[in-house]
Amino acid sequence: MTEPVVSAARPPAPPVSPGPLLSLRRADEAIGVLCACAIVLSITWGVVTRYLFPQPAAWTFEVAVIAFSWLVFFGAAACIRWRMHADVDALVAMFPPAVRRGIFIFNWWLLATLFTTLTAMFVWQAVIAHSIRVVVIDIPRSVVYGPMAFASLLMLVQHLLLKPWATGWKWQPSSEMSL
């Protein structure tokens, strides 16, 4: 039994030099780096204060959890731009090109709907949770949910910038298919 022939052209690769990290185009990556640093520093400070001082810093856990959630969402936005999310398309690769194209279009619209819904729900959550305070660091919960809404909007924008209609909605195999 022969393997299916995949002749779909891959989209143009992102430029080798994407520009400086502190640019508007890579803001999601810069925020992710800052969040990763905040996680490491807050956990480190929490450990230091727990073992070296009589009163441990209670805020370090909350800062690490908030920074981690922001890291996940802003990292997901960056991964959409670089097409780094996993594709499990072994079954789709066996379908005829017309069916693959239909699945690709459905999947694209499904993801656009998901990112739009995430944005709307996080905006709504930020609005209704603004009067509720985070327990230890005493900031409004909207500070937690607002950046997640922004990151979800970035995911939608990055998804739209892939422009699959420019290549005629051609299905593209994942990188695993070329191995």
Q: Is it the case that residue 110 has pLDDT exceeding 50?
A: yes
Q: In this predicted structure, what is the pLDDT of residue 13?
A: 52
For 146-168, write each residue's pLDDT tens digit.
Answer: 999 999 999 999 999 888 888 88
Under 8 Å between Cβ of 171 and 100:
yes
- Provide the token pair at 109: 């619209």
Give yes or no for a contact between 42 and 67, defined as CB atoms under 8 angstroms apart: yes
In the chain, what are the domain boundaries? 26-174
Q: What is the pLDDT of residues 25-74, one digit of tens each?
A: 888 999 999 999 999 999 999 999 999 999 999 999 999 999 999 999 99
Please enumerate in sequence order all residues whose Cβ is within 8 A of that of 52, keeping only pairs 6 or more positions apart, or say none.
none
- How high is the mean pLDDT of the chain? 86
Give this prediction's pTM. Answer: 0.80
HSE of 6 in the Cβ direction (CA atoms, 13 Å)?
22
pLDDT at 143 over 80: yes
Q: Name the band, by pLDDT with cuts 50, 70 and 90, for residue 138.
A: very high
Tell me what the mean pLDDT of segment 107-135 comes to.
96
Please determine, for residue 176, whether its predicted confidence score (pLDDT) is greater than 60. Answer: no
Residues 89, 156 contacting (CB under 8 angstroms): no
